[in-house]
Every structure is written in structure tokens, then in C-alpha cells.
Amino acid sequence: MTEFNSLAGQLLIAMPQMEDHRFVRSVVFLCAHNAEGAMGLVLNKLIGTLTLPELLEKLGIPSDGMLGTPRVHFGGPVEAARGFVLHSADYREPGSLEVGENLALTATLDILRAIGRGEGPQKSLLALGYAGWGPGQLDGELQQNGWLHVASDDSILFDDDLEGKWTRALAKLGVDLSVLSADAGHA
């Protein structure tokens, strides 16, 4: 039996030739990756102009203690009405999924209430929907040069420079866009 190399906790970077419009120039944080499939959140696309305080208001959750007006991200095309909060591990609930040493993923109304009160995690990103892959699907896309992967960092995860996340993630690999090829095995 071959050993499975999980990429959970890493960033996926869409290659320039990505044809799926939902993922063009996307940076995806992989929350889970195992033999049964993979799940991640797109970090650099938004749900229109929707802000977190507006979303909380629609859900009937007070946002009096919230600092700022964070935007709501397009996490991916799967379960687009379901919310996921990727956040620093200083906040945890029984249902939180640990992703690495200093991150967690929580998908409850309790975390939204805590954020609204100003008692949530120090760093967070709320996304509606997620990107999902079936068994072996992501591995196949990686082999076909659909994605690159690199270690994650908080500045790419949580900062507001959405336009720059893709090029900054590529830069972490030392990749020059002018030499990227769509053909497997070629530079």
C-alpha cells in the first residue's frame, strides 16, 4: 500500500491555463486532503460586495462588538449557502477542525455570534461554499499541471490584498509567470 502525502494546510495556486472560470487565478487553502478527497477555501474571491455585518444581520446575529466590516469570500462552488470560518487557533469549539498548528476551521453559528460580539478569533476569514475534490481528483489535477502548491502563511491567508494573493503565492515558489508552461513535464 502506498503512503498518502496530504497537502492539508497548504495553498493551491491555479496555473495560468486554468479553464474553470470559478478558479482562474485562484489561491485555495486546503483544509483537508486524504484518500477520500480534498476540501479547501478560495482565498482571493469575494461574494459580490457582501460584508460580514450584513450577513450577520440577515441571520439575526448582533454585530455590535465587531471591528471593521470584513468581506464575505467565495469559498468555492460546493454548498454555496454554507458558511465556513478559517481562523487562528486562539478560538476553538468542539466542532472545530484543526488545520496545522495555528489554524482551525469552524462551520457553526456560534463562531459567527462570537465574532459579532468581538469575542471571536484574532484572525478569521468567512467563506460561503467550498472547493471539493473526490478521491484522487485533486492528485490528478496536480499531475496535469492544473495547480501548484506551497506552504501557507498568514499574510496570504488573512490580508485584504485579494488581487495580490495569487502572484505572492507564486512568488513563494520562486516562480516567474513568463516561464510557466501548460504542458506536463515542460518548463
Picking from 119, 120, 104, 141, the residue whose alpha carbon sits closest to that of residue 23 is 141
Rounded Cα gap, residues 44 and 161, in angstroms: 8
| Residue 126 Cα distances to 25, 96, 108, 116, 176, angstroms | 20, 14, 11, 12, 31
pLDDT exceeds cutoff 70 at 182: no
pLDDT tens-digit profile of 74-105?
A: 999 999 999 999 999 999 999 999 997 799 99
Pairwise CA distance, residues 169 & 35, whole Å: 25
Per-residue pLDDT of 15-33, as tens digits, reads: 988 888 899 999 999 999 9
Note the pTM of the prediction, 2 decimals. Answer: 0.90
Provide φ and ψ at 143, rounded to 5°: -65, -30
Domains located in the chain, CATH noted: 10-179 (3.40.1740.10)
